[in-house]
Amino acid sequence: MNHSIKVSTGRKVFLCFDYIFLLFIAFICLLPFINLLAISFSSKLPVAAGEVTFWPKGFTTSAYEFIMHNNAFVKALWVSIQRTLLGVTVNLVLIVLTAYPLSKSTADFRLRNVYSWFFVITILFSGGLIPGYMVVRYTHLMDTIWALILPGALPVFSMLVVMNYMRGLPRELEEAAYIDGANHLHTLVNVILPVCLPTLATVTLFSFVGHWNSWFDGMIYMNKVENYPLQSYLQTVVINPDAFFRNTTNASADIMRFVSLVNSRTSNAAQLFLATIPILCVYPFLQKYFTTGLVMGSVKG
């Protein structure tokens, strides 16, 4: 994109500061992650004493060895992978199928405003824990992977983003297709979608992260802890003892002992770190679609 051959001094100074500033920001954002990593490679006691900041103390890989032999982690990882792949697919299909009709103007699609509000309202109002549970139960999804997918099958927020992007596209695109005699489905798949790649990459990322990170539904809709997805599982590993104590009416000694035993910071850090890796892997892959710049060749010609 940088076509200028001569670069002014002012721009040089600006770019210099820009680099320094952004690198500094990036460094600050990296700190907690380094902290997590250092903890995961440290031995238990310096960690319990809060001595580990950015470098491991008493270097050990035992936390990772523990996880490798921890069936629950591996199992939960598998549930999460399934859930994410299936969930992202369902999300994308529904986003595209919904965003396209709603991207039409009221003139072309008279009920679009009604439909739009129908979906937007759901961002604002939710029934809460128990009603949600009952709906899932009555539709017989309890304890199945669909319980984690269908209730959020259409991410309305992402749909709006895609719809907006579609509305920003030049109308000539569609017009041309229409004149060629293409029907809606054909227009959508062959004309609209190819130029929507950056926004589709964005919402794919959102869906991926959403599915990968959600934990509450797993805890409520799964009947067995063995079927928890990864983040639900991690939620039971990383707990705030105070929140627990405040939350119980009269905690029994045996449960208190459980709570105190759960607090193993090193393995928690290792598990959190491992759980973030897939996101790190997916991101650059999708990023490609919105950093290389979009060439709207089909319009320019």
Partner 1 sequence: MHIHKTKGVEHVLKTRWNKDKLIRELPLHIMLIPAIILVLIYSYGSMVGTVIAFQKFVPSKGLFGSPFVGFDNFTNLFSMPNIWPVIRNTVVIAFAKMTAGVVVPVVFALLLNEISTMWAKRGIQTIVYLPNFISWIILAGIFKDILSPNTGIINAILQQIGITPIFFLGDQKWFPFTMVFTDVWKTFGFGSVIYLSALTGIDPSLYESAQIDGAGRWKQMLHITLPGITSIIVLMTVLSMANILNGGFDQIYNMYSASVYATGDILDTFVFRLGIQNSQYAISTAAGLFKSAVSLVFIAVSYKLADKFAGYRIF
Partner 2 sequence: MKRTYGETLKRLGCMTLAALMVTASAGCGGNPSSEPPAASTDAGGAVSTENSEAPATEDGPLTPYADPVKISWGVQSSQVQVFMDGATYDDNQWSKKIKDDLNIDLEVAFSADITTDAYKNKLNSIIASGDLPDVFRWDDRTLYKQLYENGDIMDITDVFNKYASDGVKEYQTKFPESFEGARFDGRLYAFPYMNDNFHQVPYLWIRDDWLANLNAQPPTTVEEMIALARRFKNEDPDGNGIADTYGLGVNKNVVIADMGTLTGLLSAYGIPGRRNTAAFYRRDGKITFAYIQPEAKEALAVARDMYAEGLLDTEFIVKDTSVLEQDVASGKLGMMYHMNWGTWYPFNLTFESEGVITRPYPIPKASGYDYKVAIEDSRTGDLFMVSAKCKNPEAIIKILNLYYETVEVSNNPDDFTTYWDNEQYRLCPIYVGIPTELYANDVFALQDSGDSGENLAGMLKNVYGFVINFANGTDTSPSAYGTWGMMFENGSMGIALKNYRKDNAVVTNIMAGEIPDIWMQNSGALGTMVDTAYTDIIIGNKPLDYFDQFVSEWLTAGGQQTLDELEKLYPAN
Residues forming the site for partner 2 (CB under 8 A) = 45, 48-51, 72, 129-130, 133-134, 137, 219-220, 223-226, 232-233, 235-237, 239-242, 244-263
Residues 234-253 close enough to bind partner 1 by CB under 8 A: 238-240, 243, 246-247, 249
Dihedral angle over CA of 194, 200, 205, 207, nearest 10: -130
CA gap 289, 279 in Å, rounded:
16
Q: Where are the strands (E) in the chain, listed by range?
A: none
Residue of 41, 73, 165, 221 that binds partner 1 (CB under 8 A) = 165
Q: Total residues contacting partner 1 (rule CB under 8 A)?
A: 109
Residues 42-101 close enough to bind partner 1 by CB under 8 A: 50, 53, 94, 97-98, 100-101
Contact 231, 212 (CB under 8 A): yes
The burial class, CB within 10 Å (0-12 / 13-18 / 19+), for 249 is exposed
Taking Cα atoms as reference points, which of 262, 206, 205 lies closest to residue 234? 262
CA distances from 116 to 123, 150, 158, 202 (A): 11, 20, 13, 21
**Residue 216 interacts with partner 1 (CB under 8 A): yes or no:** no
Given partner 2, partner 1, none, residue 45, with its beta carbon under 5 to 8 Å by kind, binds partner 2
Amino acid at 27: F
Given partner 1, partner 2, none, residue 15, with its beta carbon under 5 to 8 Å by kind, binds partner 1
Nearer to partner 1, 25 or 85 (CB): 25
CA gap 62, 224 in Å, rounded:
28
Give the distance, in angstroms, between the CA of residue 153 and the centroid of all CA atoms in the same chain: 14
Given partner 2, partner 1, none, residue 257, with its beta carbon under 5 to 8 Å by kind, binds partner 2
Given partner 1, partner 2, none, residue 262, with its beta carbon under 5 to 8 Å by kind, binds partner 2
**Residue 285 interacts with partner 1 (CB under 8 A): yes or no:** no
Closest approach of partner 1 to the CB of residue 72, in Å: 19
**Residue 184 interacts with partner 1 (CB under 8 A): yes or no:** yes
Question: What φ, ψ does residue 182 adopt, rounded to 5°?
Answer: -75, 145
> Looking only at Cα atoms, what is the longest distance across the chain?
76
Given partner 2, partner 1, none, residue 11, with its beta carbon under 5 to 8 Å by kind, binds partner 1
**Residue 109 interacts with partner 1 (CB under 8 A): yes or no:** yes
Given partner 2, partner 1, none, residue 194, with its beta carbon under 5 to 8 Å by kind, binds none
CA gap 40, 269 in Å, rounded:
5
Residue of 26, 49, 253, 261 that binds partner 1 (CB under 8 A) = 26
Q: DSSP secondary-structure letter at 238?
A: S
Nearer to partner 2, 110 or 137 (CB): 137
**Residue 201 interacts with partner 1 (CB under 8 A): yes or no:** yes
Stretch that binds partner 1, among 41-49, 76-84, 251-259, 272-280 (CB under 8 A): 272-280
Closest approach of partner 2 to the CB of residue 287, in Å: 34
Contact 19, 251 (CB under 8 A): no
Stretch that binds partner 1, among 55-63, 72-80, 165-173, 220-228 (CB under 8 A): 165-173
The burial class, CB within 10 Å (0-12 / 13-18 / 19+), for 26 is exposed
Residue of 89, 131, 180, 216 that binds partner 1 (CB under 8 A) = 131
